[in-house]
A and B are shown apart, each in its own frame.
Chain A
C-alpha cells in the first residue's frame, strides 16, 4: 500500500537529519581543500595539496589507521566470544541467574570516560592496586608508559565497558529462539557441545552478525578511552585515527588538513564497513 501520507511520515526525520548534517559535511569538504592553519586562519583554496600530502607524506595517519583496525577488531572479537559465553551461561538455569544478569549489564550503563578516569588510577604503576597485587608474583608492568602494555590497557577497558552490549543483544537473541530445534536435539541425544555447534550457533547467526557489525561501527570510533587513559601514548602507541585527527585539528590547529583526514577517513570507513556488512550477511545466507 502506498499513500501520499508516506512522505509526511518520512520527511520530518529525514529533513531534520540532513538539515543538521548538511552544513558540517559540505564545510568539511570545502575545508579539506583549504590550507587553514594557525598561521593562515582563513578559507583559501589550495586544491588537492592536502590530499597529496595525506597519501604520500603522512605515514603517521596510516599507522594510526592500522592501529585502529587492530584495536577495534581485537576488542570486538573478545567482546563477542566473552559476551556469547556469558549469555550462554546465564541463559538457562543457574543459581543467582538474575543477579549475574544485572552484574553483566552494569558496565554498559556507565559513562565510559568517567570509568576510564577510575581505570587510570587503577592502572597506576606505583599507586594502583593492580601492580600492587601483581607485585606478589614479581610482575609490575608499566601499564601506561610502555607501548605494548598501553595497548593492552585500552583493550581491557574497552572489553570491560562494551562486552555487556554484546551480552545484551546475544542474550535477548537466545531468549527469543524457538524451542523446537532444541527439543529435537535432546531427543536425538545430542551432547551440549554438538547442540551448540549445530543448533544454537546457526540459529544465532543473524543476530551475531548484526551485533558484530554494530559493535564494529561503534568500536571504530574509539576516542574517549584513548583520550583519558593514554592520550594516544606513550608516544603514538595507542593513537587511533580519531585521536590523530583531533591532534592535527584541535591541538595543532591545522584545520584544513584535519578536514582532509576526516573526509578521507569517513569514506574509507563507510566503504569498508559496508563491505564487511555485506560479506558477513552473504556468509549467513549461504549457511
Chain B
C-alpha cells in the first residue's frame, strides 16, 4: 500500500516546480512537507492528486501506475488553504457529496457524515449554508468532507495558514488528536506547511522541499537536531537559525575579532573557516558577553526578537521578556556554546550538538 514516486520533474515555465523528487510513503503514517512559499509543496500535492501531470518521472500506488488513473478515480482527498467548499450546498450536502458520487446507500452516507461531523465538532450544523459559517468552521467542513471519504491518501495543503493565530493553535491540537486516533492504518497523511513549529508539533516524517528539490527527509526530531545543510537550517527554524561566518582555531571559535571558548563537540574539527549556526533562543543577554549594536527590537507576544549587528555579522536573539530597546543601543549577549552548529564552506553540516553528522 505504498505511495512511491520516482524522479518527478515538472517545469511548466522557466523554473523547476519539481526537480527530481522521489519518495516512499507507507500507509498509516503522517508525512509533513516543509518548505517556503513557491518551493513546490502545492505542486507536489497536486501531482499526487492527479491535477497535474509531471513532465517526467512516475508515481506508483499499490503497485499500480498512478499516472494512468485520472483524478476522479484515484482514492485521494484534499483540503486546500482557501476553505474550498461547495457554495451552493448545505454542510450536510457538502460532506455527503463524494459519498453520493460513489453511489453509497443513504444509510451508510448518513452514518459516515455524522461520524465526520462529530470528529470535527460540527454536529448540529448539517443544514447551515456555507456562507453563514466562519473561516474556521468552513475549514472544518472541508476537513470533514475529506474524512468522510475515508480516502487512502489524505492531502492537506497549508490548511491553517488562512486562519487567525488562536484558531490555528486550536485546530492544530485537534488535528493532532484526529491524526492519532481517527485514522485507520490504511491511510497515508500528507500535510504541507511553511511553519517549522507546526512540523515539530505534528511530529511526523518530514520532507524538506526547496525550489522543487528534496533537501532532507527524516523524523521531525532528526530535522531539528541535525539539519543537513544551511538551507535546511534556514527553512526549518523560525526565526531562522543565525549563521555566523568565522573560523576555528585550536581551542577557540573566532568571529568579528572575538574569541569564544570552543564547544566540546567541535574539538575534532579541522582548523579552518566555517559557518557557525546557533538558534535565536540560545543567545541570551549577558553583561559579560560580546557587544552588539541593536538594529531592531520586535515585540512578539511575550517575547522580544532582538536584531543585532556587529561588524559584518547580523544575528537575532530571542529574549523571553518584553523589554524596551533603543536602536543603536549597545548590548552584551552570550552564546550557549553547547548549541553551536558548524557548516562547511559548501553549506553541509559537519558538526551538531546532537551528534557529529559527517555526511
- A9 interface residue, CB < 8 Å from B? no
- A1 interface residue, CB < 8 Å from B? yes
- Is B52 in contact with A1, judged by CB distance below 8 angstroms? yes
Name A1-31 residues within 8 Å CB distance of B.
1-3
- B51: which A residues are within 8 A, CB to CB? 1
A2 to B52, CA, bound (A): 8
- B311 interface residue, CB < 8 Å from A? no
A1 to B52, CA, bound (A): 6
Q: How many Å from the CB of B7 to the closest CB on chain A? A: 22
A149 to B52, CA, bound (A): 63
- A1: which B residues are within 8 A, CB to CB? 51-52, 71
A1 to B70, CA, bound (A): 11
- Is B52 in contact with A3, judged by CB distance below 8 angstroms? no
Q: Which residue of B lies closest to A4 (CB)?
A: B70
- B53: which A residues are within 8 A, CB to CB? 2
- B70: which A residues are within 8 A, CB to CB? 3
A160 to B51, CA, bound (A): 51
Number of residues from B at the complex interface, CB < 8 A = 5
Q: How many Å from the CB of A2 to the closest CB on chain B? A: 8
A2 to B70, CA, bound (A): 11
Q: Which residue of A lies closest to B51 (CB)?
A: A1
Q: How many Å from the CB of B18 to the closest CB on chain A? A: 16
A3 to B72, CA, bound (A): 12
Q: Using an 8 Å CB-CB cutoff, how does the interface string of B34-63 with A read, 1 for contact, 0 for none?
A: 000000000000000001110000000000
Q: Using an 8 Å CB-CB cutoff, how does the interface string of A28-49 with B read, 1 for contact, 0 for none?
A: 0000000000000000000000
Q: Which residue of B lies closest to A3 (CB)?
A: B70
Q: Which residue of A lies closest to B50 (CB)?
A: A1
Q: How many Å from the CB of B93 to the closest CB on chain A? A: 24
Q: Which residue of A lies closest to B71 (CB)?
A: A1
Q: How many Å from the CB of B59 to the closest CB on chain A? A: 16
- A3: which B residues are within 8 A, CB to CB? 70
Q: Which residue of B lies closest to A1 (CB)?
A: B51
- B52: which A residues are within 8 A, CB to CB? 1
Q: How many Å from the CB of A284 to the closest CB on chain B? A: 25
Q: Using an 8 Å CB-CB cutoff, how does the interface string of B232-250 with A read, 1 for contact, 0 for none?
A: 0000000000000000000
Q: Using an 8 Å CB-CB cutoff, how does the interface string of B50-93 with A read, 1 for contact, 0 for none?
A: 01110000000000000000110000000000000000000000
A1 to B46, CA, bound (A): 10
A2 to B51, CA, bound (A): 8
A286 to B301, CA, bound (A): 42
A3 to B70, CA, bound (A): 9
A3 to B52, CA, bound (A): 10
- A2: which B residues are within 8 A, CB to CB? 53
Q: Using an 8 Å CB-CB cutoff, how does the interface string of A124-151 with B read, 1 for contact, 0 for none?
A: 0000000000000000000000000000
Q: How many Å from the CB of B53 to the closest CB on chain A? A: 8
Q: Which residue of A lies closest to B53 (CB)?
A: A2
Q: How many Å from the CB of A9 to the closest CB on chain B? A: 16
A2 to B55, CA, bound (A): 13
Q: How many Å from the CB of B327 to the closest CB on chain A? A: 30
Q: How many Å from the CB of B51 to the closest CB on chain A? A: 5
A139 to B204, CA, bound (A): 90
Q: Which residue of B lies closest to A5 (CB)?
A: B70
Q: How many Å from the CB of B284 to the closest CB on chain A? A: 44
Name B151-210 residues within 8 Å CB distance of A.
none
Q: How many Å from the CB of A8 to the closest CB on chain B? A: 14
A1 to B71, CA, bound (A): 10
Q: Which residue of B lies closest to A2 (CB)?
A: B53
Q: How many Å from the CB of A7 to the closest CB on chain B? A: 15
A208 to B227, CA, bound (A): 55
Q: How many Å from the CB of A272 to the closest CB on chain B? A: 33
A274 to B52, CA, bound (A): 34
Q: How many Å from the CB of A1 to the closest CB on chain B? A: 5
A3 to B53, CA, bound (A): 10
A107 to B271, CA, bound (A): 88
- B71: which A residues are within 8 A, CB to CB? 1
A43 to B252, CA, bound (A): 100
Q: How many Å from the CB of A4 to the closest CB on chain B? A: 9
Q: How many Å from the CB of A90 to the closest CB on chain B? A: 28
Q: How many Å from the CB of A276 to the closest CB on chain B? A: 31
Q: How many Å from the CB of B168 to the closest CB on chain A? A: 25
A6 to B53, CA, bound (A): 15
Q: How many Å from the CB of B17 to the closest CB on chain A? A: 14
Q: How many Å from the CB of A280 to the closest CB on chain B? A: 28
Q: Which residue of A lies closest to B46 (CB)?
A: A1
Q: How many Å from the CB of B44 to the closest CB on chain A? A: 15
Q: How many Å from the CB of B76 to the closest CB on chain A? A: 14
A94 to B82, CA, bound (A): 39
Q: Using an 8 Å CB-CB cutoff, how does the interface string of A72-106 with B read, 1 for contact, 0 for none?
A: 00000000000000000000000000000000000
A37 to B51, CA, bound (A): 59
5 nearest CB pairs, A to B = A1-B51, A1-B52, A3-B70, A1-B71, A2-B53
Q: List 5 A-B contacts (CB under 8 A).
A: A1-B51, A1-B52, A1-B71, A2-B53, A3-B70
